[in-house]
């Protein structure tokens, strides 16, 4: 079965006022529209366009609960849809955040239940017991993000630029940048013979604790970092990192999360490029429009760049302090107009399918999926059912369809058990 589903965009303050409306062919509401959820998460389940086709059920989660064998397959691991597909449209930075692994998600969820923290409470951190790996694919323009800790040598270069600028301009607090630079130099002296950073975890763990401490010293460091970033010369290969600090300071003046950006990889995805964030990856989306697919969880631990509840202690506990280089996830396969992005987790994979005029492409399925048309008009056909989708329209695909053949002209994202 191909079951048409839709939803109402979530109006978080950082959202775009036009991007999701443009994708779905609607007149903009005038409010920020940040995320369009397509899935069965109980906080915002998709609506079934034709409930008669789903036994009278109006939402996807209700239909799955009533008929899990048909919706998820006879060999399903559970009676819940394991993934959630979103369109994310950011006009302002999201919070510095991290997501839990499966063990900590269960522990945190049970602990908050025992303490009587309501699921609807703004102070609630664990809203479900699931882990949350996620993948983001840039759509119609650049998608900017901070993803994971950059190698210490690259961070040292950025801090050295800031420290030199602070000293040149006589900025108050220049000594704090010099002290941070010495810390990085001391860490660098333990590099491996291959030229790597040795073990950066102890250094990064201490730095994150210091930068998010919220004490007077951290406040002075924040001030000098933002002033030096404004005054630092451009053209030395650090423009994106410096501009990010300036932009964050303008968006969130005085926020401790700004200085954490000193330690994180600045990534710009071109349309069609993806990034994968395993649990424990410290990150923040900055600006742009993306398709995001994740385990069906709403567990977010924040520690800056937000007015929502922050839990610095929990973020420090969850964070993975390994350094990474390029965080992009290349497609594992490109065949007949379809690119498959597979992060190697059981919850989901993501395929993009592009068909030219009167073209044809397709993907295989090993379980349930959701297909979202991104542009043009395409006909999507499984083994038993078919649907015509225009940009912004979506269908839930049951496992019995086995594969999707896509014809017409346009582009489609397919998330779930795709192969």
Would you call 302 a catalytic residue per the annotation? yes
Q: Please report, for residues 10, 20, 22, 272, 390, the alpha-carbon distance to residue 29 in angstroms, rounded to integers and kept in the order given.
A: 12, 10, 11, 27, 20
3-state SS of the chain is: CEEEEECCCECCCCEECCHHHHHHCCCCCCCCECEEEECCCCCCCCEECCHHHHCCCCEHHHHHHHCHHHHHCCCCCCCCCCEEEEEEEECCCCCCEECCCHHHHHHHHHHHHHCCCCCCCCCCCCCCCCCCCEEEEECCCCEEEEEEECCHHHHHHHHHHHHHHHHHCCCCCHHHHHHHHHHHHHHHCCCCCCCCCCCCHHHHHHHHHHHCCCCHHHHHHHHHHHHHHHHCCCCCCCHHHHHHHHHHHHHCCCCCHHHHHHHEEEEEECCCCEEEECCCCCEEEEEEEEEEEEECCCCCEECCCCCCCCCHHHHHHHCCCCECCCCECCCCEEECCEEEECCCCCCCEEEEEEEEEEEEEEEEEEEEEEEEEEEEEEEEECCCCEEEEECCCEEEECHHHCEEEEEEEEEEEEEEEEC
Q: Which of 302, 360, 402, 409 is catalytic?
A: 302
Catalytic residues: 302
């Amino acid at each position: 079965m191909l079951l048409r589903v839709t939803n109402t965009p979530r109006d978080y303050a950082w959202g775009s006022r036009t991007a999701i409306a443009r994708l779905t062919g609607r007149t903009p509401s005038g409010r920020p529209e940040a995320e369009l959820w397509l899935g069965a998460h109980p906080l915002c389940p998709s609506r079934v366009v034709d409930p008669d086709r789903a036994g009278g059920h109006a939402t996807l989660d209700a239909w799955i609960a009533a008929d899990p064998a048909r919706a998820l397959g006879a060999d399903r691991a559970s009676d819940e849809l394991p993934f959630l597909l979103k369109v994310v449209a950011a006009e302002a930075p999201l919070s510095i955040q991290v997501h839990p692994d499966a063990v900590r998600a269960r522990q945190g969820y049970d602990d908050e239940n025992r303490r009587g923290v309501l699921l609807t409470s703004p102070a609630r951190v664990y809203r479900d017991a699931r882990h949350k790996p996620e993948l983001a694919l840039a759509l119609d323009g650049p998608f900017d993000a901070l993803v994971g800790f950059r190698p210490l040598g690259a961070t040292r270069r950025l801090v050295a630029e800031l420290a030199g600028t602070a000293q040149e301009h006589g900025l108050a607090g220049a000594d704090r940048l010099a002290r941070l630079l010495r810390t990085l130099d001391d860490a660098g002296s333990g590099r491996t013979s291959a030229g790597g950073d040795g073990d950066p975890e102890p250094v990064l763990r201490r730095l994150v604790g210091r930068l998010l401490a919220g004490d007077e010293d951290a406040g002075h460091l924040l001030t000098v970092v933002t002033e030096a970033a404004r005054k630092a010369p451009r053209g030395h290969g650090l423009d994106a990192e410096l501009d990010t600090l300036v932009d964050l300071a303008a968006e969130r003046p005085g926020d401790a999360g700004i200085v954490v950006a000193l330690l994180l990889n600045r990534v710009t995805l071109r349309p069609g490029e993806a990034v994968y964030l395993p649990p424990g990856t410290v990150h923040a989306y900055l600006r742009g429009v993306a398709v995001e697919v994740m385990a069906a969880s709403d567990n977010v631990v924040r520690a800056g760049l937000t007015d929502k509840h922050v839990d610095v202690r929990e973020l420090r506990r969850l964070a993975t302090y390994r350094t990474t280089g390029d965080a992009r996830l290349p497609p594992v396969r490109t065949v007949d107009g379809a690119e498959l992005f597979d992060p190697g987790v059981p919850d989901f994979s993501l395929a993009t399918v592009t068909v030219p005029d009167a073209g044809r492409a397709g993907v295989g399925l090993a379980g349930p999926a959701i297909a979202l048309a991104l542009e043009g008009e395409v006909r999507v056909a499984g083994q038993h059912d078919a649907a015509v989708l225009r940009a912004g329209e979506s269908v839930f695909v049951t496992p019995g369809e086995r594969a999707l053949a896509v014809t017409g002209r346009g582009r489609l994202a397919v998330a779930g058990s795709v192969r």
